[in-house]
Structure 1
Amino acid sequence: MNLECLKIRKEILKISRATGHGHIPSCFSVVEVLCALYETIRHDPKNPAWDERDIFILSKGHASLALYCVLARFGYFDISKVYSFGQFESSFGCHPDRFKIPGIEASTGSLGHGIGIAVGAALALKIKKENERRVYTVIGDGESNEGSVWEAVMVATNLKLDNLTVIYDNNMSHARGLQIPNPKDRFKAFGCCVSEVNGHDLAALKKEIRKKDRRVRVIIAHTKKGYGCAAMMKDHYAWHRRAPSDQELEEFCKELG
């Protein structure tokens, strides 16, 4: 595991323990995805509203703690601020708020909405002829039970939004919902350019994120909920909304290395 990604996972655990909040398994599945994005896309932590930045939207907003920790690592704010996560009057809510946190482009959390916002942003850049800028969004496989996800994809392909990249976090959250056993084929059927990658391989992710096509790009990132912690991966449903005890925190941190 990449050292920075390991540190971010430990930070997620510590903040969850301190605050009692956090969807840890869902956060752990996207740590490498988020790191790969912020190591690749155009952005400026010192000027989050930079006119030439790329746009990133975390559609699966319940993984906000992972995004906060990654943004802190890239210098958007000090990690100490994130230790107020989910607390009364904290800017760092359990879902991200674009009006309160630098680097957050859209307030998300209602599943199936973020990808629609991303499609709108990509269309806006096309209309403004800002051809160097791109839009990226991370959606969950469980979230993709929402019909609005596929409506957004249909609109994006119809409008030929080749400046849009969708990263599909295939962490098997859909196992208790509508089954999506072949996401690659489904996105292809909508007219997308689709590739698959190990969602915990930082180098492979960055390589895929850099690719462009004349069509909407979709990257199927195969991930594991709770990645790095065996007990969490084995029973991630039990950890869906749990924070670790002091003993569990210590054990998980030791396991991470």
Structure 2
Amino acid sequence: MTAITDAVVLVTGANGGLGTEFVRQALARGAAKVYATARTPRSWDDERVVPLALDVTDQASVDASVQAAGDTTIVVNNAGIGGAAPLVETSVEDVEHVFATNVFGALRVAKSFAPTLGGNGGGALVDVHSVLSWLAIAGGYSASKAAFWSITNSLRLELAPQGTQVVGAHLGYTDTGMTADLDVDKADPADIVSAIWDAVEAGEHEVLADEVSRNVRSGLGAPLHALYPALAQG
């Protein structure tokens, strides 16, 4: 388990709906400092928040953030982009663009900050996935989240010897800018982030932050047509 009280937290994609909640709730739970990172960081009204420029697709930018935030004890790998769905109607270049942020950007952050976390006592790495890690209904985006989930599973084993808790967080549609144009039921970002922070503090390795992710996770052992009813037609 990893305490948030007195922790130094770094959040990628901190300007977005989930990112803002990660920052706000970390402070509410007693974090000593939060590095709020984004390509173009914004100002915050709490002196414990340190805005920090970070482009997860640029190794030099990630290296600079590691140097600036060497006291970090918890990293939240939250930055992500949408797009690239469906695959047959999307260029390979667009799929690569999504993977550059959602997969390789997240891996770049994890690899670069792993020595920092280990040197500061272990801490935690929180990787924000999606229910679409398990449900291939969003083309390249789903594929990117599935790849990120697999990477997290490997990192969990590789970082265990240095005492780093690696938490994979799964969630369904959540009311953020990324889903603004979707006419679907959406979870409150505050509820999602609260569930994730609870899991970190409880020492969990995975958190299913809403009913949708719990339902899909429980059905992974069923025949494919249970997840994809269209396959049972005809």
Give the TM-score of the pair, scaled to structure 1.
Answer: 0.39
TM-score, normalised to structure 2, is 0.41
Flag the structure with more relative contact order, 1 or 2, with Cα contacts below 8 A and sequence separation at least 6.
1
